[in-house]
């Protein structure tokens, strides 16, 4: 039986876009401020999960809801379990959108909205691939479990809860990255740098507040500082010229206190160079001014060790592995008040050959244990790699090449996907080679033709792996 996968996928476009629109309209940011017993991660993620499972039930699939934090769609039978791993939670929308991030807009062949490329668009493509396989009556000799998480962008509560009570797949992939494949993922850890208390002393300026960032895995787009005291007369002119040269937006509201806001560019923390870190730019602007001792030390630390250094060289943590490439470091959450917390959270993606404990020690040594304490924030995930000669990797690469004519090759990324949750797990699509990466950025979108092509590639690949 010869199947034109692309033609079959194209037939599904109207219904697919309708279902994707349903998912995109749900603000599924993690919202534990409004958690309940029924909604452990807040109502949004649970509602998105429910909507996805409802779509599958409408189409006749058997589903499972695990405590409103994870779900499963099932197909086939057999001794082995092939897993698909998607997620319906999203990072916060953040500023800079030209449209409402939760009102999907189709323009110039692209669908815009938070979650279009990460990961509602690719997940719905994988779902329609399953539906296509079933509707065509193709042979399936394994169980297929499409596992849907609701906390991938944060602490992975959903997928861990799922694996506590449900069987782990033997092998599989996550539609949550890019083609041709991601068979290696760097380790991920966040390091909290807390400035130790510094005695107050008279100063011309006092930094009363400094803040930036909303999530550990997002380069902060906006940073704000509040200052008391009289700024130099030339500051406004010099700051405006500096902002123009730096390519950031400056808003200066003079008064007592004075407020300064910097707007840079958000990006995924896996590649900080894709953004402009508003927090480090603001510290760089202010660091030379005559601030109070605590404010001065904080600004100098950020400007000297964290500004425009995505590879951690200034922190003394830079490391490169031949297979996995360079370590990346992204300072993503800044918190400073005079009488409260004075910290920076740095998100690090590290290759094999180093580890979180080593990196923690290196940061503390560089900054000085007498000045800061450094701790690992949350759970550190070690590097993950599935060899290129694994049949899973070889099959996925060959399928991609058969559909696109583009030679497949191994890839390692700094991003973290559910693919790493099992030993023989990888990430596969759905971003096409050469396509702009807009994950975690304002005005996120995905080309509709790429979603449909992903359906075709996924259906063919899954069919090859489960027959």
Q: Of the residues 67, 118, 152, 153, which is catalytic?
A: 152
- Tokens 């923690």 locate to 360
The answer to whether 89 is a known catalytic residue is yes
Q: Of the residues 67, 89, 178, 460, which is catalytic?
A: 89
Q: Calculate the alpha carbon distances from 456 to 192, 450, 460 in Å.
A: 43, 10, 6
Q: Evaluate whether 102 touches 24 at the Cβ level (below 8 Å).
A: yes
Q: Calculate the alpha carbon distances from 24 to 21, 34, 49, 116, 246 in Å.
A: 5, 20, 12, 7, 34
- Tokens 């807390």 locate to 194
Candidates 450, 407, 460; CA nearest to 429 is: 450
Distance between CA atoms of residues 188 and 216, nearest Å: 11
The answer to whether 364 is a known catalytic residue is no
Burial 192-208 (b: 16+ CB within 10 A, else e): bbebeeeeeeebebbbb
Query: Helix and strand tally (H, E) in the chain?
Result: 11, 26
Distance between CA atoms of residues 70 and 56, nearest Å: 14
DSSP 221: S
Cα dihedral sign, 403-407-409-411? negative
**Encoding tokens for residue 98?**
């030209």
- Tokens 């995905």 locate to 446
DSSP 72: E
Q: Calculate the alpha carbon distances from 394 to 50, 338, 403, 407, 434 in Å.
A: 34, 56, 14, 12, 22
Return the active site residues.
89, 152
């Amino acid at each position: 039986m010869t199947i034109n996968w692309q033609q079959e996928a194209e037939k599904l476009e109207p219904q697919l876009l309708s279902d994707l629109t349903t998912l995109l309209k749900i603000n599924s940011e993690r919202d534990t401020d409004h958690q309940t017993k029924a909604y452990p991660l807040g109502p949004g993620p649970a509602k998105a999960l429910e909507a996805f499972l409802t779509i599958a039930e409408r189409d006749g699939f058997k589903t499972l809801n695990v405590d409103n934090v994870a779900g499963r769609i099932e197909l086939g039978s057999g001794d082995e379990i092939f897993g698909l791993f998607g997620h319906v939670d999203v990072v916060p929308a953040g500023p800079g959108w030209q449209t409402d991030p939760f009102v999907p807009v189709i323009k110039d062949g692209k669908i815009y909205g938070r979650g279009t490329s990460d990961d509602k668009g690719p997940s719905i493509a994988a779902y329609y691939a399953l539906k296509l396989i079933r509707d065509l009556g193709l042979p399936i000799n394994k169980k297929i479990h499409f596992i849907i998480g609701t906390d991938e962008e944060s602490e992975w509560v959903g997928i861990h809860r799922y694996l506590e009570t449900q069987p782990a797949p033997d092998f599989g992939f996550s539609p949550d990255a890019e083609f041709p494949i991601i068979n290696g993922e760097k380790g991920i850890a966040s390091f909290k740098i807390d400035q130790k208390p510094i005695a107050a002393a008279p100063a011309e300026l006092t930094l009363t507040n400094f803040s930036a960032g909303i999530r550990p895995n997002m380069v902060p787009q906006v940073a704000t500082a509040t200052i008391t005291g009289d700024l130099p007369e030339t500051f406004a002119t010099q700051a405006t010229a500096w902002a123009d040269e730096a390519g950031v937006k400056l808003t200066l509201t003079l008064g007592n206190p004075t407020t300064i806001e910097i707007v840079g560019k958000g990006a995924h923390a896996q590649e900080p160079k894709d953004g402009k870190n508003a927090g480090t730019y603001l510290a760089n602007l202010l660091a030379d001014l005559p601030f109070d001792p605590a404010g001065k030390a904080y600004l100098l630390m950020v400007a000297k060790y964290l500004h425009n250094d995505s590879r951690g060289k200034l922190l003394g943590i830079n490391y490169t592995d031949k297979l996995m490439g360079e370590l990346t470091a992204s300072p993503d959450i800044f918190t400073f008040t005079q009488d409260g917390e004075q910290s920076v959270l740095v998100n690090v993606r590290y290759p094999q050959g180093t580890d979180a404990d080593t990196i923690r020690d290196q940061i503390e040594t560089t900054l000085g244990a007498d000045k800061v304490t450094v701790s690992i924030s949350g759970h550190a995930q070690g590097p993950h790699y599935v060899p290129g000669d694994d049949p899973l990797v070889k099959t996925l690469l060959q399928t991609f090449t058969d559909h696109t004519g583009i030679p497949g090759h191994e890839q390692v990324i700094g991003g973290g996907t559910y693919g790493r949750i099992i030993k023989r797990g990888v990430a596969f699509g759905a971003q096409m080679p050469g396509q702009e990466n807009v994950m975690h950025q304002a005005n996120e979108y995905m080309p509709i033709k790429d979603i449909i092509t992903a359906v075709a590639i996924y259906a063919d690949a899954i069919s090859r792996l489960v027959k």
